Amino acid sequence: MTESRKQCKGSGRTSGGHGPSSFWLQEPQSVFDHLALQKGMVFVDAGCGAGDYTLHASAILGSGGVVIALDQARQSVEWLNSRTPEPGKAPITALACDITEPLPLQSGIADAAMLGTVLHIRQVRDGAAVLFSEMRRILRPGGVLAVLECKKEEADFGPPLHSRLSPDDVAELVAPQGFKKESDLLLEHTNLTCFRAG
């Protein structure tokens, strides 16, 4: 999966973590404002890569919140876990796992979960039924699932056009697992599609 994810890089600027990041393809705050995260929430970053979205969420949620970062790349997980907790920010727990398999998390643990430019990867897309069933399991009733993907258009960055997913493509993969589509946020280079757990 790591090789495929290299196609997701944005400008190359990251937090210093390991792995690719699409964080700089849009104004990050636009994404998090749309998610309406609040202090004290539990947020899951599935396929966290370099950890940029993880760190941004930690600052928003505050010391009463929790961020759980999941990635198959052990370097990413080890780097996030090695960071000294920062005052006023949510603690981060990073776990090495394949997000297309049953997750090592309790049911109903999360208020919100996000996949940041990982669904277009063939292995992830092929495992969508298990992935979104697990997302549904770990979210509390009414929890939010957000899927961020590069726009389905030609570009000199990110995945090739044939791998890109439109909001409708994303909904087709997510909805069968008990989610209701709630909104789309169309940004310059990316689309954020949000779903509500029933």
Beta bridge partners of 32: none
H-helix or E-strand containing 69?
strand 66-71
Start-end of H helices in 38-175 = 52-61, 74-82, 122-126, 128-138, 167-174
Domain boundaries defined on the chain: 2-178
pLDDT tens, 86-135?
A: 999 999 999 999 999 999 999 999 999 999 999 999 999 999 999 999 99
- Model confidence at 5: pLDDT above 50: no
The proportion of the chain whose per-residue pLDDT surpasses 90, expressed as a percent, equals 76
pLDDT tens, 101-113?
A: 999 999 999 999 9
pLDDT reported for residue 16:
52
The span from the CA of 64 to the CA of 88, in Å, is 8
pLDDT tens, 46-80?
A: 999 889 999 999 999 999 999 999 999 999 999 99
pLDDT reported for residue 8:
42
Beta bridge partners of 144: 112, 196
Assign 190 a pLDDT band (cuts: 50, 70, 90): very high
Which residues lie closer than 8 Å to 179 by C-beta, 6 or more apart?
A: 132, 135, 136, 145, 195, 196, 197, 198
Report the mean per-residue pLDDT for the chain.
89
Write down the CATH number for the domain with range 2-178.
3.40.50.150
Assign 18 a pLDDT band (cuts: 50, 70, 90): low
| Closest by CA position to 120, among listed 162, 178, 154, 182 | 162
Assign 142 a pLDDT band (cuts: 50, 70, 90): very high
